[in-house]
Amino acid sequence: MEAATSPIDLVQTLAEPTRLRIMNCLAAAPLFVSDLQEVLALPQSTVSRHLQVLRRAALVRDTPVTPYVIYRLRHPEGATGRLLHALLEAVGMIDTMAGERSQAQRRSRADYFDRVSHESAGSPAHDDQQAPQGGPA
């Protein structure tokens, strides 16, 4: 299990713009890697690398939905949780970030049930959702 993130670690982790954008999207809804790729216009390897850092910092959690992985925010307690909430609230007021958050919410609702139904039928709709395990951050 990951160690709890201190407020200082939180700020250092989210100082990287891509990680802040990912957290902003996950504030809207749980998402697959492909959802984040689409909303942020980034390659799968970049999104997965940053998700690994966020997961190690205990800011996101991953849930396997075979053969995919869905990511969602963790809600830390105490000062770190309050700081995360304040940061995400402030970021949500920036026009570009608010737009990405809205796109993430629409993308999550639009594709989730379609993917799950394809998956249960045995024909994956996408093959890029699984974040690689290990490797450099």
What does residue 63 show for φ and ψ, rounded to 5 degrees? Answer: -125, 115
Strands (E), 11-79: 31-32, 60-65, 68-73
* pLDDT tens, residue order, the chain (137 aa): 455 689 999 999 999 999 999 999 999 999 999 999 999 999 999 999 999 999 999 999 999 988 889 999 999 999 999 999 999 999 999 999 999 999 999 988 665 556 555 555 554 444 344 433 333 33
The domains of the chain are located at 8-117
Pairing of strands 60-65, 68-73: antiparallel
Q: Hey, how many other C-beta atoms are within 10 angstroms of the C-beta on 134?
A: 5
* 43 burial level (CB within 10 Å; 0-12, 13-18, 19+): exposed
Q: What is the phi-psi region of residue 12: left when phi exceeds 0, alpha when psi lies from -120 to 50, beta otherwise?
A: alpha
Is residue 80 classed exposed, middle or buried when 0-12, 13-18 and 19+ CB atoms within 10 A define those classes?
buried
Domain 8-117 CATH (choose: 3.30.465.10, 1.10.10.10, 3.90.25.10, 2.60.40.1180): 1.10.10.10
pLDDT reported for residue 115: 56
Distance (Å, rounded) from C-alpha 113 to C-alpha 37? Answer: 18
Q: Quote the pTM value.
A: 0.78
Bond prior to 67 in cis (omega within 30° of 0)? yes
